[in-house]
Structure 1
Amino acid sequence: MTDQPGTPDPTTPPPEPDVAPVEEAVRAGYDFTGPALELGALMLDAQTQSSARVRIPLAMLNRHGLVAGATGTGKTKTLQLLAEQLSAHGVPVFAADIKGDLSGLATPGEGGAKIEARAVSVGQEWAATGFPVELYALGGEGTGIPLRVTMSSFGPTLLSKVLSLNDTQESSLGLVFHYADKAGLPLLDLADLRAVVGHLVSDVGKAELKALGGLSSATAGVILRELIAFQDQGADAFFGEPEFASSDLLEVTPQGQGLISLVELPQLQDRPAIFSTFLMWLLADLFHDLPEVGDVDRPKLVFFFDEAHLLFRDASKAFLDQIAQTVRLIRSKGVGVFFVTQAPTDVPDDVLAQLGSRVQHQLRAHTPKDAKALKATVSTYPTSEYDDLGEVITSLGIGEAVVTVMDERGAPTPVAWTRLRAPESLMAPSDPTAMQALVQASARHATYAAVVDRESAREILAAKLEEGARKKEAETQAEEAERARQEAEKAAAKSAGKAPAKKQEEGSIVHDVVSSGAFKDFMRTAAREVARGIFGTARK
């Protein structure tokens, strides 16, 4: 008996279930052979999740990356997730802790129904885990170990960015640093630089100012006023000694975990330029000190640059070129850099083009400006299997992101709508008392906590000024003595019989006055007051 039309043949195996093109592409594109960081699982749509895994090859993390998204969409948790896994793979991490939440990395996380549900959905074996953390604070403003940098190391280019100087003023500031180097005037803190500029615009330093050629007294005056305002904001706490050694960021614990170094940024809204520019100095210092290593199996350090838009805002072309060059070349030193910001358009094209990994959280398109930014964001991604990637980005939930990374060959992976894993450390600030104890117990606290105040430009110039005052005092004494001698001779000529005694008497009076301790104390006090008037409050 033949089968009725339409009846399936029992000997024929059932057809394979349909596999969405995006799922097929993601499974193949993220199937790496080497170690990788696990980001999460593929979402087929807002409700449907696949078991396909989305990952980043460990060896590609020195090709840099971007974590972007609107406020409240989960950028900080993504940064935390990446930091945890990097540490577990023995890779040190540096990050700016803007809101204080990242201190939770030191404390095992708190489980719960939501965490367990997410872990199961993305195939994660979640376990509460704490990680090795070192806390720093710029200039000691906060709980952490003080981070300082000398003014000479910071340099005129970065300082010009902080002071919002124009190109002419930046060039002039460079001449001031050059003069200080040639004159043997160490620039350690902000007061040193103020002293040098103040010296150059003073009557004493006018000849040296003129010899610099490209530095006018008017421009030097502008720079001096900006430095005074900068110091009034409390920025002098960031400059000085002991200077932080960036090599301290490269530590791996005896247990094989990478050290996570977090720097507190209190009152970011008041001084955004100094914070972002200090982080740029730290990155440039790493570039200067580290040897070339080429392509490595794992990075020596991954550097997370949070609130990256602050670095690029109102920056000069020369400054942007320096950033782009540093990012491009530091890869060969084994350092990966991730910029964390709200939108990819916050990052200049020359820098954005060098970022191999993208984790894009939700963007909003409520205004024409938002819509334009969304369109620009979509244009930075490779061709995807999604009909409308912009719609995907605006419909992402919290803890979801659109991801593309570099595969092990250096080619971009398929764009993947990803539900991200949950961090295993505390997703909130750690206990302040525990953090204070952690800082006090650190060996680096003893190295960096106490300020070192050695002789530098301010003291040297003050000593020169006081020496000049002493010289002037000696000249004045000599003139007074000569005047007294002449008066005595005149008196002797009028009264020849009593001249010797009178001359001796008058000479004795002058000698007694100028040699007295009270007269010398008066002249030294006057010299110090002159020094204070030019160089600011004297050190105690």
Structure 2
Amino acid sequence: MNDSIFTGGGGPAQDQAQLLKLKYANRHGLIAGATGTGKTVTLQILAEGFSAAGVPVFLSDVKGDLAGLCQPGSASSPMHANLMERAGTIGLDPYEYAAFPVTFWDMFGEKGHPVRTTVAEMGPLLLARLLELSEAQEGVLNIAFRVADEQGLALLDLKDLQALLVWVGENGSELSLRYGNVSRASVGTIQRRLLVLENQGGALLFGEPALNLDDMIALDADGRGRINVLAADRLMQAPGLYATFLLWLLSELFEQLPEVGDPDKPRFVFFFDEAHLLFDDAPDALIDKVEQVARLIRSKGVGVWFVTQNPDDIPPDILGQLGNRVQHALRAYTPRDQKGLRAAAETFRPNPRFDTEDAIREVGIGEAVTSYLQKKGVPGIAERTLIRPPSSRMGPITDAERGGVMAASALGAKYDVALDRESAFEILRKRAESAVEAEDDPVEAPAPDRSYRGSRSAPTSREYNSGRRYSPGSVKTGGSRSRSDSVAKTFGKSLARQLGTQMGRQITRGILGGLFRGR
């Protein structure tokens, strides 16, 4: 059916097809279940369904299994007989293998096109979350962003922010009079957190060319939605960076896309895998922001699906907005697990034919309890569902297959080579170098007036009015030079100490960064 996605059916308890109506697919959804119960396959068949309906998709490939979306399934696969049997059981006719249009992305630029944003686009709120800053430290970060705006300093990459923080630290007393307390201790903490982020590979996230959302929200020549697959296996080694990047992407969709009302199908669907990482230790302000985005972004035609092990991982106010549910098996081994199982069952509209709590406990691999929004947005009753087999390959692909997909993509010419245009780091460095050169340039003092009988060190009226201190013989401009020059000289020396030589930075990354590269 053109207005819905067939996700499964059949099974021992019922034979009714389970259809996700595209009109209500932007009312958000949840895919939950214990490890190994089939969440990845469910995500795969939903991505296929949206793509076939002309809806672009974004998803994270945490284990490398979803890369198979770019290749058709094969009759020579060991799973072929089982897949054909499942298709016959649920009435999926015809069942054919097919590949889908996939674009690979990778923050590290290894398994996909590099995906970048700028420090300015990330903003102080998400950066503070990423760096796990205290309220006082977040305040200093906000001051730095304000100074950058007022001074016209573009914050594109981490070295821009690091250089700006040096300047803020050296001028903390002046800035405190206008913006509030700026302590060097807070600046130092932020700098150390930035170093940790850089060693985790986070510096690769910031820079240009920055991601253009139009390159993700795209269709192929046949009108199918493009499936954007983020290689996240390495990125998951830094969970905070992973969660913050996905939250940034979601916020960009919210801020940039126009209102479209209530469309017949979503404009874009965003799958947030390992969603519990977003909410672990998250401050209330951040959770409130996510709740606001989830509530309002559907009017922009964006559907958000959270993928996690237990519905209890999602805050109640956000969970209440997820109208479409696919609940795979939960194992209740502990009192906490049993409580979570009961809570999950209570979120479904009861089915008189079976007990929902028992069904969630008993469904096998590739089965789920499903509930999709029906006419007028009313939740459907819970149904035990055999999930349909995917048309694309189940499992990873070879390096050669991935390379072929990337080589055929027109986006490589746009994103594969990083740019480094003039920004805050270069501008501040030039100012510092100019100030240091001016400070070190000797200035000849005028010959002393021999007719004056006072102290030889007394200045003339012209020298006095110029604000320049005078001493006999050859002198340099002294401590009463303009405040900006003095500050700039101090900044220049501090910047050198802070950033070190380029060779030193490479050695640091080599020693510390190797712990996070997984090589």
TM interval, shorter chain, is 0.7 to 0.9
How far does the alpha carbon of each residue in 1:210-240 deviate from its partner, in whole angstroms, 9 at most, with x for none? 4321433332222222122222222111101
Shift of 1:534: 3.5
Instruction: Output the amino acid matched with 2:222.
Output: Q
Three-state SS of the structure 2 residue aligned to 1:138 is coil
How far does the alpha carbon of each residue in 1:324-369 deviate from its partner, in whole angstroms, 9 at most, with x for none? 1111111011111111111111111111111110000000011122
2:145 is equivalent to residue 177 of structure 1:
yes
Corresponding residue number in structure 2 for 1:128:
97
Three-state SS of the structure 2 residue aligned to 1:37 is strand
Corresponding residue number in structure 1 for 2:198:
231
Question: Counterparts of 1:60 and 1:92 in 2: how far apart (Å)?
Answer: 16
How far does the alpha carbon of each residue in 1:97-121 deviate from its partner, in whole angstroms, 9 at most, with x for none? 1111111011001232111111110
Instruction: Output the amino acid matched with 1:179.
Output: V
Corresponding residue number in structure 2 for 1:385:
352
How far does the alpha carbon of each residue in 1:394-432 deviate from its partner, in whole angstroms, 9 at most, with x for none? 111000000011113100001101111000100011222
Corresponding residue number in structure 2 for 1:424:
391
Note if contact 1:200-1:206 (Cα within 8 Å) is conserved in structure 2.
Answer: no
Corresponding residue number in structure 1 for 2:367:
400
Corresponding residue number in structure 1 for 2:211:
244
2:384 is equivalent to residue 442 of structure 1:
no
Distance verdict in 2 for CA 1:343–1:488, change over 3 Å: farther
Corresponding residue number in structure 2 for 1:167:
135
Indicate which of 48, 61, 66 corresponds to 1:97.
61
Note if contact 2:32-2:311 (Cα within 8 Å) is conserved in structure 1.
Answer: yes
Distance verdict in 2 for CA 1:465–1:371, change over 3 Å: same
Note if contact 2:108-2:201 (Cα within 8 Å) is conserved in structure 1.
Answer: no
Instruction: Output the amino acid matched with 2:111.
Output: T
Deviates more, 1:381-390 or 1:433-442: 381-390
Indicate which of 43, 67, 90 corresponds to 2:31.
67
Three-state SS of the structure 2 residue aligned to 1:226 is helix
2:82 is equivalent to residue 143 of structure 1:
no
Three-state SS of the structure 1 residue aligned to 2:243 is helix
How far does the alpha carbon of each residue in 1:465-485 deviate from its partner, in whole angstroms, 9 at most, with x for none? 1122012112xx11xx339x6
Distance verdict in 2 for CA 1:100–1:339, change over 3 Å: same
2:282 is equivalent to residue 315 of structure 1:
yes
Question: Counterparts of 1:168 and 1:348 in 2: how far apart (Å)?
Answer: 26
5+ unaligned residues in a row in structure 1: which ranges? 1-32, 490-508, 512-524
Q: CA RMSD in A?
A: 2.5
Question: Counterparts of 1:487 and 1:432 in 2: how far apart (Å)?
Answer: 83
Give aligned pairs, total. Answer: 466
Q: Between the two proteins, what is the percent identity of the paired residues? A: 41
Instruction: Output the amino acid matched with 1:534.
Output: Q
Corresponding residue number in structure 2 for 1:506:
none
Three-state SS of the structure 1 residue aligned to 2:368 is strand
Instruction: Output the amino acid matched with 1:128.
Output: Y
Question: Counterparts of 1:487 and 1:131 in 2: how far apart (Å)?
Answer: 89
Indicate which of 293, 297, 307 corresponds to 2:260.
293
Corresponding residue number in structure 2 for 1:117:
85
Shift of 1:66: 0.4
Corresponding residue number in structure 2 for 1:13:
none
Three-state SS of the structure 2 residue aligned to 1:145 is coil
- List aligned pairs for 1:350-361, cutoff 5 A: 350-361=317-328
Corresponding residue number in structure 2 for 1:20:
none
Question: Counterparts of 2:311 and 2:290 in 1: how far apart (Å)?
Answer: 16
Distance verdict in 2 for CA 1:74–1:532, change over 3 Å: same
Question: Counterparts of 2:498 and 2:432 in 1: how far apart (Å)?
Answer: 10
Shift of 1:183: 1.7
Shift of 1:388: 2.9
Shift of 1:49: 5.0
Question: Counterparts of 1:351 and 1:527 in 2: how far apart (Å)?
Answer: 46
Shift of 1:209: 4.8
Shift of 1:449: 0.8
Corresponding residue number in structure 2 for 1:35:
3
Question: Counterparts of 1:205 and 1:162 in 2: how far apart (Å)?
Answer: 24
Note if contact 2:169-2:182 (Cα within 8 Å) is conserved in structure 1.
Answer: no
Instruction: Output the amino acid matched with 1:94.
Output: F
Distance verdict in 2 for CA 1:273–1:101, change over 3 Å: same
Question: Counterparts of 1:59 and 1:526 in 2: how far apart (Å)?
Answer: 61
Question: Counterparts of 1:527 and 1:218 in 2: how far apart (Å)?
Answer: 17
2:303 is equivalent to residue 336 of structure 1:
yes
Distance verdict in 2 for CA 1:64–1:470, change over 3 Å: same
2:160 is equivalent to residue 192 of structure 1:
yes
Distance verdict in 2 for CA 1:210–1:458, change over 3 Å: farther
Corresponding residue number in structure 2 for 1:208:
175
Note if contact 2:172-2:182 (Cα within 8 Å) is conserved in structure 1.
Answer: no
Instruction: Output the amino acid matched with 1:308.
Output: A
Distance verdict in 2 for CA 1:510–1:369, change over 3 Å: same
Question: Counterparts of 2:10 and 2:270 in 1: how far apart (Å)?
Answer: 27
Three-state SS of the structure 2 residue aligned to 1:358 is strand
Larger Rg: 1
5+ unaligned residues in a row in structure 2: which ranges? 452-472, 476-488, 506-519
Question: Counterparts of 2:400 and 2:133 in 1: how far apart (Å)?
Answer: 41
Instruction: Output the amino acid matched with 1:273.
Output: G
Note if contact 2:87-2:389 (Cα within 8 Å) is conserved in structure 1.
Answer: yes
Question: Counterparts of 1:538 and 1:213 in 2: how far apart (Å)?
Answer: 34
Three-state SS of the structure 1 residue aligned to 2:114 is strand
| TM-score, L = length of structure 2 | 0.85
Shift of 1:184: 1.3
Note if contact 2:10-2:91 (Cα within 8 Å) is conserved in structure 1.
Answer: no
Question: Counterparts of 1:320 and 1:368 in 2: how far apart (Å)?
Answer: 27
Deviates more, 1:54-63 or 1:385-394: 385-394
Instruction: Output the amino acid matched with 2:370.
Output: V
Instruction: Output the amino acid matched with 2:101.
Output: P
How far does the alpha carbon of each residue in 1:117-151 deviate from its partner, in whole angstroms, 9 at most, with x for none? 111101112111101111011142x2100000000
Shift of 1:154: 0.3
